[in-house]
Amino acid sequence: MLSRALILAGGLAGAAGLSQFPEFSQQYVQRLGGAVDELHRFVTELDADATEVGLTRSAALADLAQGGAMGAQRAETMAGVIVRYERLSADLTALRSAGPFTRAHRARDLGDAEIANAAWAEFKPALPLTFEGAVFAGAGFLGGLGAIAAALALLKMPFRRRRARSA
């Protein structure tokens, strides 16, 4: 009886937890969009400045790097901004074209720690009343049931062998 209650509790915990994924992923995508917009502004300004003096982006970074310690540090920072912008832009494109189920499959695209932490800090769990939330809740329920049932079965295994030997 206790094991059934524990299994049910595991299923309910899994349902409650996994049902939050669609909303969290949506909030992550919204924050990702804001970050990409801001990085785009920096990259566009760098490109405009480079064009104004007749340089390409890479030539402008090289020129900046030759301008002393501050220039070299700024060139390195801007190179990092460009790489981050390109990576986040690719993630945003992939996630915007994906529905909640595909987002679960592409969860690795939710991998920017800074954005995920900011989304998590503002995230408020709620009762999902969407089809996607219900499907994720069902999957979480089954996953929780299975995990707790498997854990209990493993814990009971040594005791079953003792009974079989003593009989």
The pLDDT tens digits of the residues spanning 74-115 come to: 899 999 999 999 999 999 998 888 887 888 888 877 888 999
Q: What secondary structure, in 3-state letters, does 23-52 show?
A: HHHHHHHHHHHHHHHHHHHHHHHHHHHHHH
Full-model pTM = 0.72
Confidence bin at 164 (pLDDT 50/70/90): low
pLDDT of residue 165: 61
pLDDT of residue 26: 87
110 Cβ contact list (under 8 Å, min separation 6)? 25, 28, 91, 95, 103, 116
**Spatial CA neighbour of 115 closest among 29, 41, 21, 42:** 29
